[in-house]
Chains A and B, each alone.
Chain A
Amino acid sequence: MALTGRAGLLALIGVLVVGLVLPSWQGILVLFGLLVLCVAVDLVLAAGVRRLTFSRAGATAVRTGEPCVVQLTVHNPGRRLRGVLRDAWAPSAGVVADRVAVDVPAGGSRVLSFELRPVRRGDRVADRVTVRSHGPLGIAARQGSHVVPWTVRALPPFHSRRHLPPLLERLRELDGRRASLIRGAGTEFDSLRTYVIGDDVRSIDWRASARSSDVVVRTWRPERDRQVTIVLDTARTSAGRVEGALGGLPRLDTAMDAALLLSALASQARDQVDFLAFSHQVRASVPRATLPVLVRAMAPLEAELVEFDARGAVAEVLRRAGRRSLVVLLTALEPSIEHGLLPLLPALATRHHLLIASVSDPAVHAMAAGRGDLEAVYAAAAAERTLAERRRLTALLARHGVDVVDALPDDLPRALADRYLALKAAGKL
């Protein structure tokens, strides 16, 4: 049960009655008795909440930060229900208004809509539905809760999708579908066609021109149906928060953004994308990923405070990727790579081309530029030490034939996509 403000208001009016009319203990007892009677009447006449039935419908997935609607249907088999209903969700589900007044006639149903705007990626689970049913006097109410399960998956926001149109434009240029075809864009021979002004004279096929009445050029196209395996590190280092244009986000979220842009681009280029999230075991695995499937698979991933198991990850990649592929490892360039990943590189590099993409921290760069007082200079020295370590690791990895993309969080998705296009143009896939 629950009391309402009216019960308190009645008791307050009772102060006047006691003070002016019945100044005695009996007066107080009489008024209290009356109040208890009203409460009892209200509780008896209020509609029951235990027998209500609920069902849900509506959105099951939404991009983080965007609105969606979940409907809750209340069926009332008993007396007419008047009161308040609260559909409780965790704060990060971003329910705009979780309390609504309800009025369900006897034997009827009502559909209530709740707008959600998730502020954080992951599965947002509905908690309980609580109903407070007021009696006819409005002094007391019956209250009870029901569990009505529903999950809304808040998908990664994919902010970097705005980079996609110019990247696709460049991809089309590589593909030879544009007039500005240049020699070297791709390595696979595509076809012969008549020379038009603007074509590179070096691409003229003289032997074919001799057989024909026109000058004929060869066209090239980039390779297709290559395999790109994206490995996302969800271990210790991915939990680190890095300040970007969107505020402090874990490295994991930036890496996801980059992975999404890369896979969107790669699938447009008709390459096959395999996705693997790995910490000390496989966290998510999507072979032949399409963007919607990939986004759904990424949504519930969280950084774990365990060490990245490089041996396990490499074994998993070798097991899955049958033919030569581009392996993109999204991780942090930290000294632990040296004794974790480095000894395993020969096994990987003989069959695949490895590209490591790492989120660098603008805070470290800011510290490295710090001058003025002693504290700032010591901080600068510590930051320079870290940056030197990263440079050393990059050089070490390059010696093993590994490409490294080390960029600030806002630049990483674009930088990784650019490197992929460069590799594709050079025919290194």
Chain B
Amino acid sequence: MTAVSPDAPRIWSAARGPVLIGVIILFAAIVITLLRGSGEGGALDPRSFRPEGSHAVARLLEQNGVRVELTDSASAVDGATLFVTQPNLIDPQRLEDLTRRASATVLLAPAGGRSRLEPETRQPGCPLADRAGPATMGGFTYEGEQSCYDSTLVRTGTVTTIGYGGIFTNRDVDEEGNAALALSLLGQHERLVWYVPSEADRSQQKSLTGLIPDGWKYGALQLGVAAVLIALWRARRLGRVVPEPLPVVVRAAETVKGRARLYRRSHAASHAASVLRQATRDRLAPLLGVPQGDDPSEEIARRTSRPVTSVRALLYDKEPVDDRGLVALAHSLDALENEVRKA
């Protein structure tokens, strides 16, 4: 009989290709991640040294005694300035809740802008930004209680809306009065929560069932009915199962194996040795022409070059042997038998 279940070499030869591909993909992913990791942070990230990053502004704020906390899931905003770089990514309800709790809020280009202006140096034209003077402003225009820089910077209550984020970037922070404006906007309180929304904030807070139209809830119930009917179809047998009267299976060699295990468990090495010696004598006797039961040692010694005493010791020794000796004895008996057969 041939075994059909695969063995280790066959499994390896079959799996080699996929494993190799997997290793290559893993290696490539690690390399790409490592190369990318050096350019940490994106636009308006207070850790980023790139031109569009905001490390300079963050440093300036810290030098003026403002603690900057970068977060991607603003929660503790009470008594702090909240700076939201991408307010459009946040659920409006949540944003409203955050602005209510924060002492001051700066929103960068939220939805609801009216017209779009090119970023350029503009005059403040309002008391809110008089100290800063002209600054690089532009982007969307908004409406509010106080309006500066051609309506690109407005304030309503504690919420300041700014249409263009150029003044916060490393590239433009040293132009005109950009730095002063940024400091006056973000340094209103001792703590600044710098909120860079992540993709997770975009997700709607609706559950899965809320997204399904009501009609399909009944459709799902009907699907259940269909499943029950299909189960009934598949479960019905075409006639009963027919039993097979099987004969008993007894391996003829079972008792012999049982005896071998008994020998092994009781360490009956001496007994096993005498059985093996007897078997060798019985097999050699007809080869040598010695009557069954007689001592064949002398005849063996005559045909082979072995001394009689050693042959007799091998075939008749009654000395007790241990397990290790038994294995050795089996091999020497085999060697003797082969020698006689060749002679």
- Does B244 lie within 8 Å of A378, measured CB to CB? no
Chain B residue nearest to A395 (CB atoms) is B292
Query: Which residues of B sit under 8 angstroms from A373, Cβ to Cβ?
Result: 327
| Per-residue contact bits, chain B 238-281, to A (CB 8 Å; 1 contact, 0 not) | 11101111011111111111011101100000011101101100
Query: Which residues of B sit under 8 angstroms from A20, Cβ to Cβ?
Result: 215
- Is B211's CB within 8 Å of the partner chain A? no
| Per-residue contact bits, chain A 4-15, to B (CB 8 Å; 1 contact, 0 not) | 110110011011
Nearest-neighbour CB distance to chain B for A422, whole angstroms, equals 20
- Is A296's CB within 8 Å of the partner chain B? no
Nearest-neighbour CB distance to chain B for A11, whole angstroms, equals 3
Query: Which residues of A sit under 8 angstroms from B323, Cβ to Cβ?
Result: 374
- Is B106's CB within 8 Å of the partner chain A? no
- Is A69's CB within 8 Å of the partner chain B? no
- Does A303 lie within 8 Å of B248, measured CB to CB? yes
A11–B326 alpha-carbon span in the complex (Å) = 75
Chain A residue nearest to B247 (CB atoms) is A302
- Given known contacts A23-B219, A374-B264, A128 and B240 CB-to-CB distance under 8 angstroms: yes
- Does B256 lie within 8 Å of A382, measured CB to CB? yes
- Is B230's CB within 8 Å of the partner chain A? yes
- Does A388 lie within 8 Å of B253, measured CB to CB? no
- Given known contacts A20-B215, A28-B218, A128-B240, A381 and B253 CB-to-CB distance under 8 angstroms: no
- Does B216 lie within 8 Å of A19, measured CB to CB? yes
- Is A322's CB within 8 Å of the partner chain B? no
- Does A388 lie within 8 Å of B239, measured CB to CB? no
- Given known contacts A127-B242, A361-B253, A373-B327, A23 and B229 CB-to-CB distance under 8 angstroms: no
Query: Which residues of B sit under 8 angstroms from A378, Cβ to Cβ?
Result: 260-261, 263-264, 272, 326
Query: Which residues of B sit under 8 angstroms from A92, Cβ to Cβ?
Result: 244
Query: Which residues of A sit under 8 angstroms from B253, Cβ to Cβ?
Result: 361, 363-364, 367
Query: Which residues of B sit under 8 angstroms from A302, Cβ to Cβ?
Result: 247
- Does B327 lie within 8 Å of A374, measured CB to CB? yes
Nearest-neighbour CB distance to chain B for A88, whole angstroms, equals 5
Among B218, B229, B264, contact of A7 (Cβ-Cβ < 8 Å): B229
Query: Which residues of B sit under 8 angstroms from A99, Cβ to Cβ?
Result: 238
Nearest-neighbour CB distance to chain A for B294, whole angstroms, equals 15
- Is B24's CB within 8 Å of the partner chain A? no
A120–B254 alpha-carbon span in the complex (Å) = 23
Chain B residue nearest to A368 (CB atoms) is B279
A31–B264 alpha-carbon span in the complex (Å) = 73
Chain B residue nearest to A369 (CB atoms) is B334
Query: Which residues of A sit under 8 angstroms from B150, Cβ to Cβ?
Result: none
Nearest-neighbour CB distance to chain B for A381, whole angstroms, equals 4
| Contact-size category for B | 35 or more
Chain B residue nearest to A35 (CB atoms) is B229
A371–B327 alpha-carbon span in the complex (Å) = 8
- Does B225 lie within 8 Å of A11, measured CB to CB? yes
- Is B282's CB within 8 Å of the partner chain A? yes
Query: Which residues of B sit under 8 angstroms from A27, Cβ to Cβ?
Result: 218, 222
Chain B residue nearest to A362 (CB atoms) is B253
- Does B279 lie within 8 Å of A363, measured CB to CB? no
Query: Which residues of A sit under 8 angstroms from B260, Cβ to Cβ?
Result: 367, 375, 378-379, 381-383
Among B256, B282, B334, contact of A364 (Cβ-Cβ < 8 Å): B256
Nearest-neighbour CB distance to chain B for A3, whole angstroms, equals 5
Query: Which residues of A sit under 8 angstroms from B34, Cβ to Cβ?
Result: none
- Does B226 lie within 8 Å of A8, measured CB to CB? yes
Among A23, A28, A241, A377, contact of B250 (Cβ-Cβ < 8 Å): A241
- Tell me the dominant secondary structure on chain A's binding face: helix
- Does A86 lie within 8 Å of B239, measured CB to CB? yes
A377–B270 alpha-carbon span in the complex (Å) = 12
- Is A242's CB within 8 Å of the partner chain B? yes
Among B226, B239, B331, contact of A128 (Cβ-Cβ < 8 Å): B239
- Does B238 lie within 8 Å of A371, measured CB to CB? no
Among A91, A248, A385, contact of B275 (Cβ-Cβ < 8 Å): A385
Query: Which residues of B sit under 8 angstroms from A248, Cβ to Cβ?
Result: 251
Nearest-neighbour CB distance to chain B for A375, whole angstroms, equals 6
| Per-residue contact bits, chain B 208-226, to A (CB 8 Å; 1 contact, 0 not) | 0000001111111111011
Nearest-neighbour CB distance to chain B for A129, whole angstroms, equals 8
- Does B226 lie within 8 Å of A240, measured CB to CB? no
- Does B326 lie within 8 Å of A374, measured CB to CB? yes
Among A15, A127, A240, A388, contact of B223 (Cβ-Cβ < 8 Å): A15
Nearest-neighbour CB distance to chain B for A409, whole angstroms, equals 10
A129–B238 alpha-carbon span in the complex (Å) = 9
- Does B238 lie within 8 Å of A86, measured CB to CB? yes
A121–B223 alpha-carbon span in the complex (Å) = 50
A35–B1 alpha-carbon span in the complex (Å) = 54
Chain A residue nearest to B233 (CB atoms) is A3
Query: Which residues of B sit under 8 angstroms from A168, Cβ to Cβ?
Result: none
- Does A90 lie within 8 Å of B244, measured CB to CB? yes
- Given known contacts A11-B229, A364-B253, A381-B276, A127 and B240 CB-to-CB distance under 8 angstroms: yes
- Does B276 lie within 8 Å of A384, measured CB to CB? yes
Task: Select the residue from B244, B256, B279, B334 with max chain A CB neighbours within 10 A.
Answer: B256
- Given known contacts A4-B233, A363-B253, A382-B256, A132 and B238 CB-to-CB distance under 8 angstroms: yes
- Does B257 lie within 8 Å of A3, measured CB to CB? no
Query: Which residues of A sit under 8 angstroms from B222, Cβ to Cβ?
Result: 11, 14-15, 17-19, 27-28, 31
- Does A145 lie within 8 Å of B275, measured CB to CB? no
- Is A84's CB within 8 Å of the partner chain B? yes
- Is B232's CB within 8 Å of the partner chain A? yes
- Is A135's CB within 8 Å of the partner chain B? no
Query: Which residues of B sit under 8 angstroms from A242, Cβ to Cβ?
Result: 252
Task: Select the residue from B230, B247, B254 with max chain A CB neighbours within 10 A.
Answer: B247
Among A18, A90, A91, contact of B219 (Cβ-Cβ < 8 Å): A18
Q: Can you name 8 A-B residue pairings with CB atoms under 8 Å?
A: A8-B229, A15-B223, A19-B218, A23-B218, A145-B239, A239-B248, A368-B279, A377-B327
The 8 A-B pairs with the shortest beta carbon distances in the complex, nearest first, are A240-B252, A23-B215, A19-B219, A130-B239, A11-B226, A381-B272, A8-B230, A382-B260
Known: A12-B223, A127-B240. 10 other contacts (CB 8 A): A5-B233, A18-B222, A23-B218, A28-B221, A89-B242, A90-B244, A120-B247, A128-B239, A143-B238, A364-B252
